[in-house]
Amino acid sequence: AAQLLQMSITLILSVVVFMIAYSLKPTVSATLLIILIPFQIIETKYGSANVALTFAIIIAWAIKGVGIRLPMLPQILGVLFAYLITLSMVYPPTMSQHIVYIISLISAVLVFWIVYDLTMRVERLQDIVNVFLIMNICVIIYSVIQLIAGPGERVVLFGIEELHMMRVRADRRLTGPFGAAGIAAEYTAIVLMLIL
């Protein structure tokens, strides 16, 4: 039942994002996706909701006829081909898990292309930096709420168990929206270098 609810919420979000991506300029939907990247709002056994949102944006753009730039296409296709070859060595009962990994990998490539395309569409590169600053402000707000809530069980949003905020770990290490202190530290380091 929990998986069904998560998938239903993901489907509703995907339809909303699809309509936004189809009706508004590509820069708006790309900016929305970038801001949502750190927040894995819904995590299912099929991947996070962000994977579905990425595919919804790309499909909307394809139907709308938005020309998207595809840098490094041969190299990325080579990596995907190599990954598909490795599936021949996968233990058959675990094949469904590896299919999810392929979908996530393709989603990551699509996000790369969306971000690259956005940088080519904006007039000033400062606009891209501003998008990343907004994303980081959202992460900081999330982290402050997490610190105020303190350690303990996760904070359930709107009474729906599947929608929740992570809590501070028992050792009081901040995890942010990532669920692990190490990932929060890596994210912070990468984003600081990116902005600089």
- The DSSP output letter for 151 is B
* Verdict on whether the full-model pTM lies above 0.85: no
- Calculate the average pLDDT of the chain: 85
DSSP E strand stretches across the chain: 43-44, 47-48, 155-157, 160-165
Torsion of CA 54, 34, 83, 4, to 10 degrees: -50
Among the listed residues 176, 19, 31, 37, the one whose alpha carbon sits nearest the alpha carbon of residue 118? 31
**Contacting residues for 67 by C-beta, under 8 A, at least 6 apart:** none
Q: Say how far apart CA 105 and CA 53 lie, in whole Å.
A: 14
With bands split at pLDDT 50, 70 and 90, how would you rate the model's confidence at 26?
very high
Q: d(Cα 193, Cα 136) in Å, to the nearest integer?
A: 13
158 pLDDT more than 80: no
Q: Residue 78: what pLDDT?
A: 95
Strand duo 155-157 + 47-48: pairing: unpaired
Q: How confident is the model at residue 166 (pLDDT cuts 50, 70, 90)?
A: confident
Instruction: Quote the CA–CA distance of 35 and 140 in Å, as a whole number.
Output: 12
Q: Residue 46: is its pLDDT beyond 70?
A: no
